Amino acid sequence: MTEPIIVQKKPHVLELDAGSYYWCACGRSKNPPFCDGSHQGTGLEPIHFELSEPTKVWLCGCKHSARPPFCDGAHKRL
Ligand code: FES
Ligand code: FES
């Protein structure tokens, strides 16, 4: 399996509307932090998550979080 690319060593802090989202796990998306299909052939897959109401989120930008799609502080050790 291909290693993910570190997009940034900090989270993407976003105010998202309620809805269904696919977080990019591979780091190759041209629309980070969301999947745009660029993971094809890497063996990596996006992580799906849903929000039931408008929510402020801290989405992992380093792709090394142990609880994706959310930042768990792992970027501080990279
Ligand atoms: Fe990265 Fe889909 S583009 S997981
Ligand atoms: Fe990846 Fe914080 S940005 S763990």
Domain count, the chain: 1
In a domain, 17, yes or no: yes
Q: pLDDT by residue (tens digit) across 7-46?
A: 999 999 999 999 999 999 999 999 999 999 999 999 999 9
In a domain, 4, yes or no: no
In a domain, 57, yes or no: yes
Give the residue whose CA is nearest to atom 2 of ligand 1.
35
Distance CA 74, CA 38 (A): 24
Q: What is the domain extent for residue 66?
A: 12-77
pTM, 2 dp? 0.95
Distance CA 23, CA 48 (A): 6
In a domain, 5, yes or no: no
Over 80: is that where the pLDDT of 3 sits?
A: yes
In a domain, 7, yes or no: no
In a domain, 35, yes or no: yes
CB 56 within 8 A of CB 24: no
Pocket test for ligand 1, best of 30, 38, 48 (most atoms within 8 A of CB): 38
- Read off φ and ψ for residue 74, nearest 5 degrees: -60, -25
In a domain, 6, yes or no: no
